[in-house]
Chain A
Amino acid sequence: MATNVATAPLRARRSVGSYVMPVLASLLLVALFLWLIVNFVKGPAYFTNIAFIGLTNGAVYALVALGYTLVYGILELINFAHGDVFMLGALISASMMITNFGVTTGSSTGFLVIAIIGSLIVTMLACGLINATIEFVAYRPLRGAPRLAPLITAIGVSFILEDVAIGWKQTGYTAVPNVLPRGNVFSAGGVSYTWEKLIVVLITVPVLIALVYLVQRTRQGKAMRATAQDRDAAAMMGINVNRTISFTFLIAGALAGAGGLVYALYFGQVRYDTGYQLGLIAFTAAVLGGIGNLPGAVLGSLCIGFVQAFTDGLRWHSPGSDWTLSIVFSILILILVFRPEGLLGERTPEGG
């Protein structure tokens, strides 16, 4: 009884403020759904096509967002340079396909499959190595420093990588030949799903399954999860923490490389600053899903992909592509301020 008396005034005071935000949030959500429903009713086929674009964007974001989430889970570090590793991946794969394989729009399908898989492997390896090197050079010496120190070096590395890309490919766009088939997979009543969108998903899903297998079922994955939970305890149990962290960066970089290849194929042009913006969007996706949470990153990426496609594409009262980034960043801010544990609310961020 005594405790009830003591807490009663506290609760009374809390309740005033704690009504406002949920009510506002639910009003916002209701308005959002109304907007989506009206748009759907006005043109169901068009709406579905836009949603397919969102799905495809989300698949690309997922590959990058997973890298953020893996690294955050294990080091609690926002790897600011991750978006630029992704950009380097896109450039590497573009250059592989154009110069090493000599892919053109007229190449045969079998050759294309070989070229894409070959570029995918090389890009994933290269980006994984780049990311692990970044960790070794810029983050590892700062393991014991205040947590803002590695964040600042991460920003520095991000700028360095952008300039590496400028030095390599200049400031203009590098065009990738439009090799993906653009025909319809199926088409019914104005709804059409095209091959290039399916291929993006077909590249993304196996990579995701492999990642989940790696983290959940292998010894190395177990070591990653243990290191994410408690680095000191993991070290005491005989896990080589530094190697595990390096491995995590390797995997994250490889994912970014895969994302880069998919991006280069799907969007057809890459530039030195592609990674900065897309990296921030993917980071938003990771935060939206709950940073440190692998399924959450995928879910968040799909959400952000839909958000982007709908704001860009819908016809009835849509903000338009000018405002897309502002909306994405507003989501980031709102999520961080009001629900930092994300959609799949795990209270403590744990890797894997």
Chain B
Amino acid sequence: MKRRISRAWWVGLGAVGLTPARWAALTPVTRRAIKTFVWLAILLILIALFGVWKIAALALAAVIALLVVPAWNRIPFGKYVVPLAILAIAIAYPYYNTHMPQLPIFGPFPQISTMVVMMIFTMMALGLNFVVGYAGLLDLGYVAFYAMGAYMAGWFASNQFANQHLNFGAVGLYQGWSGYHISIWLLLPMAGIATAIIGVLIGLPTLRLRGDYLAIVTLGFGEIIPQVANNGDNLFGTGFNLTNGTGGITPIDGPGFGNWADKHLHLPANYLNAQNFDSLYFWTAIVLVLITIFCSARLRDSRLGRAWIAIREDETAASAMGIPLMRTKTWAYATGAFFGGVAGAYYASYKSGAFPDDFFFNISVFILCMVILGGMGNIWGVIFGACFLAYLDREGLANVGAWFSNHTHRTIDVPKYEFGIFGLILVITMLFRPEGLIPSQRRAAELHEGVHDEPLYDTEHAGA
């Protein structure tokens, strides 16, 4: 846009009264607008002359004008415009998704219920990213935190404890309810905090272990918790029904703002009774994801976040610089657990149930796969990975399978091989692009150049 206008043009323009001095006195945006509109006018006249005049040409002209005229290059593009545009597209999704065309292989655009699940898994993946991406601790039992959050929702927003009677802001209670009913809005942070406490309890004894041992220990916890959920209908033979066993806890209350807010502020009284049930859950999930992104970005740049990265890169050096290893790692664990718990509670509220069959090792690997495919330590990468894999899980693979069957005339049950595909993604990513699809620069450098990988707390010295 800084090109000069040549002398010959100025002669002509001066004749119409536009001298160089006058031109220079205009604001840059006006100058650019005039230039753009002149060129567009010439273009449109040419189009009209050749007889292909269409409304589309005018629309194209409008788009070009919009792109060229404002001083976009002055705006912090990557920081605000792109994220806000993506956010706007996401928020408006329920309004246009039924009008979208079919994609080549993947078929129709995801339904809103799928979008809700994608958002919830994004939250979980961002939570795991604190542990795996920032602090570099491999956690194979993340599903334990998800389970914990879900059961928090189960205990405090359903009829589970039949001889209790407590209502604290819950919506949509039927006649003859029993048990604890706490508003989901309050329950989400409660579940997060309870799960973070569990994370600290798990973390305190285990975080001193070396990387791969830590992974196995977390895997052990991840296996124990669903089994407790499975057997918790008669704990230790006392008849105390904590988790309702294999049946799971259902139904769980939905979120909502109550009748007063519905009347005066037009906020939905109870999500479960609303017409656009899925959309409401979707928008709320977006808000939760935004909070998670905010915390991720702010924590990453904080003193604590830099300590996590330092530990990931070189534990010995970090310790020598005065970073308290155990405390820092425990914070990473607790933060990751917090978001896992919130996501779990929200998911339980969306599914209206907490079922022990949902909490198996597969889910831990599924979330880990999101983080690794997208790019460990990079917020955008993790969001991309989570959305993509959650979409594949819910709809994508079935659609791809249908496409294969149509084109090869052989029935392949692609969703059956889902976890093999995820395993393949893990292997291929680690072998060829260990930093993930959208890497964080720093992590990529570590993975390619290698870091000092000898741990300080070695198991050989950690024995009691």
Contact = CB atoms under 8 A, between A and B. Distances in A.
Determine the main DSSP class of B at the interface with A.
Answer: helix
Interface string B422-460: 111111001100100000000000110011010000011
Interface string B208-233: 01011101110111011001101100
Interface residues of B, number: 49
Contacts of B423: 155-160, 162-163
Nearest to A342: B463
Contacts of A77: 212
Contacts of A167: 417
A148 B215 contact: yes
A199 interface: no
Nearest to B140: A155
Contacts of A107: none
A209 B446 CA distance: 44
B363 to A, nearest CB: 13
Residue of B216, B231, B421 with most partner-chain A CB within 10 A: B216
A77 to B, nearest CB: 7
B420 A152 contact: no
Contacts of A155: 140, 365, 368, 423, 426
Given A146-B446, A159-B419, A159-B422, A151 B215 contact: yes
Contacts of A152: 138, 368, 372, 426, 430
Interface string B345-371: 000000000000000010001001000
Contact of B419 (A18, A145, A163, A329): A163
Contacts of A323: 227, 231
A325 B453 CA distance: 33
Contacts of A150: 430
Contact of B427 (A156, A330, A332): A156
A147 B452 CA distance: 11
A147 B211 contact: yes
Residue of B212, B217, B446 with most partner-chain A CB within 10 A: B212
Interface in A146-199: 146-153, 155-160, 162-164, 166-167, 171
Nearest to A22: B464
B434 A160 contact: no
A336 interface: yes
A138 B216 CA distance: 19
Contacts of A337: 205-206, 209, 217
B447 A146 contact: yes
Given A162-B419, A167-B417, A336-B459, A142 B431 contact: yes
A340 B462 contact: yes
B416 A153 contact: no
Contact of A171 (B136, B212, B231, B416): B416
Contact of A160 (B215, B216, B420, B462): B420
Contacts of B140: 155
A337 B205 CA distance: 7
Residue of A145, A276, A323, A340 with most partner-chain B CB within 10 A: A340
B331 to A, nearest CB: 20
Contacts of A158: 423
Given A76-B212, A149-B430, A332-B220, 20 more contacts: A145-B434, A148-B211, A150-B430, A151-B212, A152-B430, A153-B427, A157-B423, A158-B423, A159-B419, A159-B422, A162-B423, A163-B417, A326-B227, A333-B221, A337-B205, A337-B209, A340-B213, A340-B462, A340-B463, A341-B459
5 nearest A-B residue pairs (beta carbon):
A163-B420, A159-B423, A156-B426, A340-B459, A156-B427
